């Protein structure tokens, strides 16, 4: 069983991956929810364009998305320079950049799941809430969100799982620096590039399998509980 | 309390235009489906923004397009009871009831949770989930939820339409109590003459998006021309009567009004109760002499007021029975044969009456 024991470096990659994926999921959640609501419930100019832009990472090669992130959020990129100057936030070659890349790649999945679940909420219930005195924000928080919760959670789990597996955009944007930007997939990739790395690659693969499986089971359980609460 | 509505609105091919001012405790918006009743109540409730016009409730301007006033639904303080209850499925009955109270708060509220729960008999349901309630129970909870939001105006959009007769009979008394006790004016959408007779103080009749008539319930129901389709035969006279005697041996009740006494199958209410009785015009016969040897129990005497030909073969005879109008629809042939003329002394033979209770609160007894 000795070969199953992770080396300190491998542990670092696993922990970093979890941190990056959790940040990517939770930081993008409020934005994803807001955009999902806009797309589900409002008509506005440029709606299809917004929808298209959000879905781009799904169809673009991940390397292209990573390179675009490098151009815009790199130290010399317009967004990157602005954020560093005004907020001291640096993305390039940091774990934060990996989280950003993962969030962007997972965003279409998140918005799609949330949008569908919001669209499924009966608008007549929202109208009833407004006649009872609830302002639009409160209608969303007390009626729409609770009823859409299974989809919202599903969207977050999808994003988390996507983030755990993100490779192309991350390695292009923030490279493969052990301890900083070397996530699980990058570490596995590195192992496969060196002689005698098979055992390490296998160990990390097992870890990735377990994490993905657990994420899926948790999402199933949470969604089932949420939909039961709604149906009851 | 008055409600002023004066709006013009267009929805695709359908246009609606209505203006009326009601001071009634329960104003019915009445008409066949597609007449614009629901559109109109949605405009009052703030769910549809009218193209033009004004809505003023109790001195509060809710809509005034000329002065660019538009109060959004959540600030209108209307309690809206929908046809399909629309209880929140993720909340318990108690949380549903409390939903509007949170926003009504800020010291303006007077609706008392326990009083409303008692009024609607829903105390035993509080911990249940909406999905487990029967249709009638759901609708009662929906009425309670609307009441507890401390509304200035209650709106009810065919709250009984999706219920069977037994469930309707279960809810109607609560709506009557609401009308008589809650002191919140009600706007009530319906296409049923029976419901409107029983509940309404005033009626606005809508027909294809236009206001066909507006007035007190008895006046509107006496205008038989306003009813169409399945409700055409339902028109007639509404009498406010009082329960005077119970004839237990024959299981009958005796009701009295200015027009005279009427006997009906027993009504289980205390003596002195006020009742609304509807005499359908088609159920009233005319005799020029007091009939003898006839099974009909209810014979009212009166004089012919007017005769109005309503079709090829039918005439509406309007009688004055001791100051109380009664309408009979008879054939033109009968009217000719009897040589009916205004001022003539006649007898109205009432075949059937439909009793619509109007609240069990007894009037002060005359002899007390």
Given an 8 Å threshold on Cβ–Cβ distance, is A127 in contact with B47?
yes
pLDDT digits (tens, 9 = 90+) for B90-106: 999 999 999 988 777 55
**DSSP labels for B99-160?**
HHHHHHTTT-----HHHHHHHHT-GGGTTS-GGGS-HHHHHHHHHHHHHHT--SEEEEESTT
Cα gap B151→B209, rounded to integer Å:
27
Interchain CB contact of A124 with B (< 8 Å): yes
Interchain CB contact of A132 with B (< 8 Å): yes
Handedness of CA A171, A176, A182, A184 (dihedral sign): positive
Tell me B295's DSSP state.
Answer: S
| Buried/exposed B291-308: b ≥16 CB within 10 Å, e otherwise | eeeeeeebbbebebbebe
Cα gap B78→B83, rounded to integer Å:
16
Is residue B214 within a helix (H) or strand (E), and if so which, with residue range? strand B210-216
Cα gap A207→B232, rounded to integer Å:
76
Cα gap B251→B179, rounded to integer Å:
30
* Range in A139-148, A168-177, B84-93, B220-229 with the lowest mean pLDDT: B220-229
| Statement: residue A232 has pLDDT above 60 | no
Q: Could you give the C-alpha distances from B318 to A171, B282, B285, B306, B327, in angstroms and in order?
A: 93, 12, 12, 5, 5
Cα gap A153→A156, rounded to integer Å:
5
The phi, psi pair for A98, rounded to 5°, reads -60, -40
Domains and CATH numbers, chain B: 3-231 (3.40.50.300), 273-357 (2.40.50.100)
Question: Residue A104 in contact with residue A35, Cβ under 8 Å?
Answer: no
Question: Residue B46 in contact with residue B78, Cβ under 8 Å?
Answer: yes
pLDDT digits (tens, 9 = 90+) for A38-87: 999 988 898 999 999 999 999 999 999 999 999 999 888 888 888 888 88
* Range in A205-219, B53-67, B344-358 with the lowest mean pLDDT: B344-358
B residues 74-103 closer than 8 Å to A (CB): 74-80, 82, 84, 86, 88-90, 99-100, 102-103
Cα gap B196→B242, rounded to integer Å:
19
Share of chain B above pLDDT 70, in %: 92
Task: Give me the residues paired with residue B265 across strands.
Answer: B252
The two three-digit tokens of residue B68, written as one number: 């660019």
| Statement: residue B368 has pLDDT above 70 | no
- B272 burial class (0-12, 13-18, 19+ CB within 10 angstroms)? middle
pLDDT digits (tens, 9 = 90+) for B246-286: 888 888 888 888 888 888 888 888 888 888 888 888 888 88
Residue of B163, B212, B213 whose CA lies nearest to B192: B163
Given an 8 Å threshold on Cβ–Cβ distance, is A143 in contact with B88?
yes
Residue of B251, B237, B271 whose CA lies nearest to B350: B237
Question: Residue A125 in contact with residue A118, Cβ under 8 Å?
Answer: no
| Statement: residue B65 has pLDDT above 60 | yes
Tell me B240's DSSP state.
Answer: E
The two three-digit tokens of residue B275, written as one number: 């009742």
Q: What is the reported pLDDT for B202?
A: 92
Query: Using a CB-CB distance cutoff of 8 angstroms, which residues of chain A are in contact with residue B90?
Result: 146-147, 229-230
Of A133, A139, A147, the CB nearest to B100: A133
Mean pLDDT of chain A: 89
CA atoms within 13 A on the CB side of B4: 10
Q: What is the reported pLDDT for B106?
A: 54
The two three-digit tokens of residue B121, written as one number: 């008999």
Q: What is the reported pLDDT for B359?
A: 45
Domains and CATH numbers, chain A: 2-231 (1.10.3720.10)
Q: What is the reported pLDDT for B230?
A: 59
Query: Using a CB-CB distance cutoff of 8 angstroms, which residues of chain A are in contact with residue B93?
Result: none
Mean pLDDT of chain B: 84
The two three-digit tokens of residue B55, written as one number: 């809505």
ipTM: 0.80
Query: Using a CB-CB distance cutoff of 8 angstroms, which residues of chain B are in contact with residue A138?
Result: 103
Residue B75: alpha-carbon gap to chain centroid? 27
């Amino acid at each position: 069983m000795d070969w199953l024991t992770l080396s300190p470096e491998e542990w670092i990659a696993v922990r970093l991956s979890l941190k990056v994926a959790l940040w990517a999921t939770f930081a993008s959640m409020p934005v994803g929810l807001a955009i999902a609501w806009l797309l589900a419930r409002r008509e506005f100019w440029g709606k299809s364009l917004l929808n298209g832009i959000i879905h781009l990472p799904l169809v673009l090669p991940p390397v292209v998305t990573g390179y675009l992130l490098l151009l815009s959020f790199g130290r010399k990129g317009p967004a990157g320079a602005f954020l560093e100057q005004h907020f001291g936030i640096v993305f390039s070659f940091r774990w934060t950049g990996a989280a950003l890349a993962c969030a962007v790649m997972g965003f279409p999945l998140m918005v799609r799941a949330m949008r569908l679940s919001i669209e499924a909420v009966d608008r007549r219930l929202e109208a009833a809430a407004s006649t009872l005195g609830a302002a639009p924000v409160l209608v969303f928080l007390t009626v729409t969100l609770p009823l859409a919760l299974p989809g919202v959670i599903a969207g977050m789990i999808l994003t988390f799982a996507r983030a755990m597996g993100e490779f192309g955009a991350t390695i292009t944007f923030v490279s493969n620096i052990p301890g900083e930007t070397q996530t699980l997939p990058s570490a596995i990739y590195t192992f496969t590039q060196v002689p005698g790395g098979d055992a390490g690659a296998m160990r990390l693969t097992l870890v990735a399998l377990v994490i993905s499986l657990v994420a899926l089971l948790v999402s199933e359980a949470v969604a089932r509980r949420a939909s039961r609460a709604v149906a009851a | 309390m008055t409600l002023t509505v004066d709006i013009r609105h267009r929805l695709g091919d359908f246009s609606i235009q209505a203006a009326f001012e009601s001071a009634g405790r329960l104003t019915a918006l009445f008409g066949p489906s597609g007449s614009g009743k629901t559109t109109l109540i949605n405009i009052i409730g703030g769910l549809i923004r009218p193209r033009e016009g004004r809505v003023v409730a109790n001195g509060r301007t809710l809509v005034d397009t000329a002065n660019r006033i538009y109060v959004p639904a959540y600030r209108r303080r209307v309690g809206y009871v929908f046809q399909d209850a629309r209880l929140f499925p993720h909340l318990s009955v108690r949380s549903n009831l409390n939903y509007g109270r949170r926003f009504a708060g800020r010291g303006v509220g007077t609706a008392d949770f326990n009083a409303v729960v008692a009024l609607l008999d829903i105390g035993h349901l509080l911990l249940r989930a909406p999905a487990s309630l029967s249709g009638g129970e759901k609708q009662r909870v929906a009425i309670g939820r609307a009441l507890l939001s401390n509304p200035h105006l209650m709106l009810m959009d065919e709250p009984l339409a999706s219920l069977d007769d037994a469930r309707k009979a279960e809810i109607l008394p609560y709506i009557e109590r609401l009308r008589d006790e809650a002191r919140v004016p009600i706007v009530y959408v319906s296409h049923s003459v029976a419901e409107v007779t029983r509940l309404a103080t005033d009626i606005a009749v809508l027909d294809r998006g236009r206001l066909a008539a507006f007035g007190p319930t008895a006046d509107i129901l006496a205008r038989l021309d306003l009813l169409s389709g399945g409700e055409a035969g339902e028109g007639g006279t509404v009498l406010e009567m009082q329960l005077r005697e119970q004839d237990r041996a024959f299981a009958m009740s005796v009701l009295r009004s200015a027009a005279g006494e009427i006997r009906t199958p027993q009504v289980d209410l205390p003596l002195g109760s006020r009742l609304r009785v509807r005499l359908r015009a088609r159920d009233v016969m005319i005799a020029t002499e007091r009939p003898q040897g006839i099974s009909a129990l209810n014979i009212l005497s009166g004089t012919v007021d007017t005769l109005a030909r309503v079709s090829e073969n039918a005439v509406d005879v309007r009688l004055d029975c001791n100051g109380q109008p009664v309408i009979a629809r008879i054939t033109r042939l009968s009217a000719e044969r009897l040589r009916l003329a205004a001022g003539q002394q006649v007898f109205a033979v009432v075949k059937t009456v439909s009793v619509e209770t109007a609240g069990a609160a007894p009037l002060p007894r005359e002899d007390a």
